[in-house]
């Protein structure tokens, strides 16, 4: 009887042990499944965030590029006026038609020329335009003013644009501010948001205008007084904002609500991609300041619900279901497989991001630098100007990596990038080639003296002590400078000259600036 009781107790202990082991294994499996699900959820959130940031960056860059391209179109138009003593209506029409605005420059309403007129010139001017075959031409709005302007050329000269013929833009305060700024600075200027005179009917959009001054040929315009005295008029381009923004979004910015503000505040809203939502109210949103032609736009992006569902991976749900229904080993193997796959996808995303920008510093990489250098050289060649290329190599950087580790070195490189950017203009480019090598492209310089000032400013900034991760570092830089076209008439020769000048700075004792020698 005692032996029977002992066997029963032993069997009972085995059943209890089996239950306890099963419960322990189930608890462990559920715990691992939860941890795997939590990790996958964070990865999914990061994937959505990365896709959102990339889409916003692409959208902002396309807006910047469009505004820059349209400014270049106006600069070319100014050059057209400068190349002729008197541009006729037929010549202007032929010039604009050759640009094929609708096909090549979406969003632009046209290109026009507004002539500056003094009160005593009005009667003669109106008579001359009417004699060209426009008997109803007049300057509007009516009324006495100290200065008049008139849109005399605007192509394509049909449809909405006919309403602008003879309009005095200088009579409007918003337009007048931009026109005066362009006149006095000799640079492109954009107006605040306006309703274009071309608008009519039910399809009314907000718009804006971009101006560039045209000065009388062979007369000086180096000072504000000379610019005001010798102004002929303005070339300008009107834009309807919704037409301008159409086509900005591409694959990575699909599913984003884009809002454009002419400054701060809801009252300054110019464009809203989705009227039924506000970007700032969406869980994932961000706002960026975009500067162009002397004006700052605030561009807000928000991720719409379909963006999140399209970009978010279903791995967390799969892992949760698999962890409950299969064994610990299979769940672990599934996690390892999915983790490998996530790393591969992350590597692919990073490769896409690194196509144009350096992953560590966020500066343009070599590919984007080459593109901008080519554009800058083409622009300098057209205007017969100069540009400068600065090759920057950090001195005494290797001991930082050797003594404090690469993590500390990476933080130092980020700080170098920030300091380099602080020395650059909006039109210039700071780039990282790799390691401790940086490049600064000054797209417009007034000779060696101006380039030297910038190089010495950069050198002084980079030589200041660095406070990184609780350590103080003293490093410097060797800077080689090459000017276009003195030191190279193509990108390859210019890069080689700047590189050689940088090595000359190294050999000269470092922490110095050296210019490339003139080619023999």
- Residues classed as catalytic: 436
Confirm if 110 and 96 have CB atoms less than 8 A apart.
yes
Pairwise CA distance, residues 212 & 231, whole Å? 11
Can you tell me whether residue 322 is helix, strand or coil? helix
Which helix H or strand E contains 48, and what residues bound it? helix 2-82
Q: What is the largest CA-CA distance in the chain?
A: 133
For residue 97, CA distances in Å to 101, 104, 113 come to: 7, 11, 15
User: Residue 143: exposed, middle, or buried by beta-carbon count in 10 A (0-12, 13-18, 19+)?
Assistant: exposed
**Nearest by Cα to 140 from 114, 119, 176, 168:** 168
Beta partners for 154?
A: 112
Pairwise CA distance, residues 491 & 489, whole Å? 7
User: Residue 405: exposed, middle, or buried by beta-carbon count in 10 A (0-12, 13-18, 19+)?
Assistant: exposed
Can you tell me whether residue 114 is helix, strand or coil? strand
Q: Which residue has the tokens 């749900």?
A: 317
Pairwise CA distance, residues 413 & 399, whole Å? 13
Pairwise CA distance, residues 261 & 271, whole Å? 7
Phi/psi at 518 (nearest 5 deg)? -65, 135
Confirm if 272 and 259 have CB atoms less than 8 A apart.
yes
Confirm if 390 and 442 have CB atoms less than 8 A apart.
yes
Can you tell me whether residue 182 is helix, strand or coil? helix
For residue 169, CA distances in Å to 112, 213, 263 come to: 12, 14, 22
For residue 4, CA distances in Å to 12, 13, 15, 18, 197 come to: 12, 14, 17, 21, 106
Pairwise CA distance, residues 80 & 268, whole Å? 35
* Helix/strand/coil (H/E/C) assignment for every residue in 129-168: HHHCCCCCCCCECCCCCCCEEEEEEEECCCHHHHHHCCEC
- The pair of structure tokens assigned to 12 is 């009972």
Confirm if 290 and 301 have CB atoms less than 8 A apart.
no
């Amino acid at each position: 009887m005692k032996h029977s009781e002992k066997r029963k107790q032993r069997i009972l202990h085995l059943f209890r042990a089996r239950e306890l082991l099963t419960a322990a294994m189930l608890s462990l499996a559920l715990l691992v499944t939860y941890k795997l699900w939590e990790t996958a959820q964070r990865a999914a959130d990061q994937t959505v965030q990365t896709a959102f940031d990339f889409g916003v960056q692409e959208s902002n860059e396309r807006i910047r590029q469009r505004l820059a391209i349209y400014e270049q179109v106006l600069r070319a138009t100014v050059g057209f006026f400068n190349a002729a003593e008197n541009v006729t209506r037929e010549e202007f029409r032929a010039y604009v038609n050759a640009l094929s605005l609708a096909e090549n420059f979406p969003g632009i309403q046209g290109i026009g020329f507004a002539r500056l007129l003094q009160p005593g010139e009005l009667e003669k001017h109106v008579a001359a335009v009417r004699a060209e075959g426009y008997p109803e031409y007049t300057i509007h709005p009516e009324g006495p003013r100290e200065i008049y302007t008139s849109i005399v050329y605007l192509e394509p000269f049909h449809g909405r644009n006919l309403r602008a013929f003879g309009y005095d833009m200088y009579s409007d305060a918003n337009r007048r501010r931009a026109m005066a700024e362009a006149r006095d600075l000799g640079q492109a200027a954009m107006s605040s948001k306006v309703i274009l005179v071309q608008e009519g009917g039910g399809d009314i959009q907000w718009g804006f205008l971009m101006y560039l001054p045209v000065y009388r040929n062979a007369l000086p315009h180096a000072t504000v007084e000379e610019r005001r005295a010798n102004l002929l008029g303005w070339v300008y381009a009107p834009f309807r904002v919704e037409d301008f923004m159409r086509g900005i979004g591409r694959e990575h910015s699909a599913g984003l609500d884009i809002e454009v503000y002419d400054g701060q505040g809801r009252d300054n809203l110019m464009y809203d991609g989705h009227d039924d939502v506000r970007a700032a109210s969406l869980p994932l949103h961000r706002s960026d300041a975009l500067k162009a032609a002397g004006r700052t736009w605030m561009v807000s992006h928000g991720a719409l619900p379909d963006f999140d569902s399209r970009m978010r991976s279903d791995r967390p749900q799969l892992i949760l279901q698999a962890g409950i229904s299969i064994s610990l080993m299979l769940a672990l193997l599934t996690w390892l497989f999915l983790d490998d796959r996530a790393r591969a996808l992350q590597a692919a995303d990073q490769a896409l991001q690194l196509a144009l920008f350096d992953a560590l510093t966020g500066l343009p990489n070599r590919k984007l630098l080459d593109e901008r250098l080519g554009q800058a050289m083409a622009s300098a060649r057209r205007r017969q100007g100069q540009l400068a290329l600065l090759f920057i190599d950090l001195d005494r950087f290797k001991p930082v990596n050797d003594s404090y580790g690469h993590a500390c070195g990476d933080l130092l490189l980020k700080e170098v990038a920030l300091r380099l950017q602080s020395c650059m203009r909006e039109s210039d480019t700071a780039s990282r080639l790799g390691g401790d090598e940086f490049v600064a492209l000054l797209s417009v310089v007034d000779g060696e003296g101006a380039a030297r000032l910038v190089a010495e400013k950069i050198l002084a900034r980079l030589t200041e002590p660095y406070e990184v991760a609780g350590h103080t570092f003293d490093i410097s830089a060797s800077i080689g400078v090459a000017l276009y076209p003195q030191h190279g008439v193509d990108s390859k020769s210019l890069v080689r000259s700047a590189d050689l000048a940088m090595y000359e700075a190294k050999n000269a004792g470092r922490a110095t600036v050296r210019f490339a020698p003139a080619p023999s």
